[in-house]
Structure 1
Amino acid sequence: MNIKYAIFDLDGTLLDTIESLIKTGNSMLKELGYEPRSNKEFRKFIGYGAKELVRQLIVAAGDEEAKQLEEAYKIYMQLFEEYCVYKVEPYPGILELIAAMQERNIPLAVLTNKPHQMTGRVLATTFSEDTFAYVLGQSTRFPRKPDPTAAHYIAEKLGAKNIQEVIMIGDSDADIQTAKNAKMLSAGAAWGFRGSQELIDNECDILLEKPTDLIQHL
């Protein structure tokens, strides 16, 4: 295995953002007159972008046909402006992994289905501005993961000539399938929102119990 470039997912991989997402989502549901959803439900719903999270939340809350989706999404995005960095913190071992990669001159990037306009603010809670060579959140420019278009674009920006030298690290099926669709290496972050079984089921190339487990493969 020859890893020369790395692309990270954000939520559930680099940073534990679950409290910010729960705070935003349940505040939205409250404004719409619905009961809050559980931590377990949020972990299941996260991974395919903010609008899909909102859709699943309102369906679970009782709007089975998601008729309020546009209204709910507007409320969610307004609330997320305030709560996107709420109780955000790095997972244990992430800073050590990033440092080890930097010591080996491995260019780093972030590809997330989190709205692009909030992604920089969330990363800034922990990382310096020069940590990642390229950061790309969800926008109208590219289809969301697991479509490989954005991953290929980032690999090109990083200077990768051989896609097999690029590894994508993430905690969900969306991340592993993005890597597979892009013909990249994949590493499953078992410390994240979904746990190890989903990553095994999606046949990640490497299963990581903790971030520093990747260092031996560098």
Structure 2
Amino acid sequence: MNQKVIIFDFDGTIADTVDALVSIANRLALEFGYIQITPEELAILRGLTSREIMKYSGISVFRVPFLVKKVKGELKSKIVDLKPIPGIEEALFNLHYQGYKLGIITSNSQENVTSFLKLNHLDTLFDFIYSGVTIFGKTTIINNVLRQKQLKAKDVIYVGDETRDIEASKKANIQVVAVTWGFNSPEALASYNPNFLIEEPSQLLDVLENAKKDTVK
């Protein structure tokens, strides 16, 4: 049997970046013409898809790439203060020791991700990091990674915290584990019917072992 490859989202899945990203987004709200995010607004946004958030915020779709670039630039100065999601470090080391091949696909910059991993002594665990701006989904990037790494869809599982991660994984014909500790609410994630829905990083190894058994059958 081929080695299982686990591809992780970064923001909200490995790194606890939600508060930092909200802070940056609020500071840029006037410049880019969208509403600021109050705690009440954040609760609403957690239940929305990327498309719905765009509509709700009022930002022009043409300005999004420029906003993403600026957010990544500002996040660079905050990397040193960011922490891993509680429990994710142990989970990643366990997966690595069990022989899983780990990778990252993110809309954050490769520089930010690499710096974070090195600061938290996680850089030796990952075989690849792919960065790309994805407004509505990651299907194209996932398919590019599968092609470049010569991976079969049945050997790959994606782990992410947003509905767009589920949507993109399904379009790429790979299994997906949705995690409730990131951006989207458990209810929003469940409505997209991921293969697995987990609440704690400690559950990762169990569900991935189950996924591996399902593949063998």
Percent identical: 21
Q: CA RMSD in A?
A: 3.6
- Give every structure 1 segment of 4 or more consecutive aligned residues whose post-TM-superposition deviation is greater than 4 Å: 30-36, 45-48, 74-78, 156-159
Tell whether the 8 Å contact from 1:15 to 1:89 is kept in structure 2 after alignment.
yes
The residue type equivalent to 1:80 in the other structure is L
Tell whether the 8 Å contact from 2:89 to 2:122 is kept in structure 1 after alignment.
no
Using the TM superposition, give the Cα deviation of residue 208 of structure 1 relative to its aligned residue in structure 2, in angstroms. Answer: 0.8
For 2:215, the equivalent position in structure 1 comes to none
The residue type equivalent to 1:82 in the other structure is S
Report the TM-score when normalising by structure 1: 0.75
- The residue correspondences of 1:18-167 to structure 2 (distance < 5 A) are 18-29=18-29, 36-39=36-39, 41-42=41-42, 44=45, 56=54, 60=57, 64=58, 66=60, 69=63, 73=67, 76=71, 78-83=73-78, 85=79, 87-139=81-133, 146-160=137-151, 162-167=152-157
Tell whether the 8 Å contact from 2:80 to 2:116 is kept in structure 1 after alignment.
no
Aligned CA distance change for structure 1 residues 197 and 71 (closer, same or farther; 3 Å): closer
Other structure's SS at 2:13 match:
coil
Using the TM superposition, give the Cα deviation of residue 121 of structure 1 relative to its aligned residue in structure 2, in angstroms. Answer: 2.8
Tell whether the 8 Å contact from 1:171 to 1:190 is kept in structure 2 after alignment.
yes
- The residue correspondences of 1:4-23 to structure 2 (distance < 5 A) are 4-23=4-23
The residue type equivalent to 1:19 in the other structure is D
- The residue correspondences of 1:179-218 to structure 2 (distance < 5 A) are 179-217=169-207, 218=209
Report the TM-score when normalising by structure 2: 0.75
Tell whether the 8 Å contact from 1:147 to 1:181 is kept in structure 2 after alignment.
no
Which has more helix, going by share of residues? Answer: 2
Q: Work out the number of aligned pairs and report it.
A: 204
The residue type equivalent to 2:112 in the other structure is M
Using the TM superposition, give the Cα deviation of residue 144 of structure 1 relative to its aligned residue in structure 2, in angstroms. Answer: 5.6
Tell whether the 8 Å contact from 1:171 to 1:192 is kept in structure 2 after alignment.
yes
Separation of aligned partners in 2, 1:214 and 1:181: 22
Task: Name structure 1 gaps, 5 residues minimum.
Answer: none
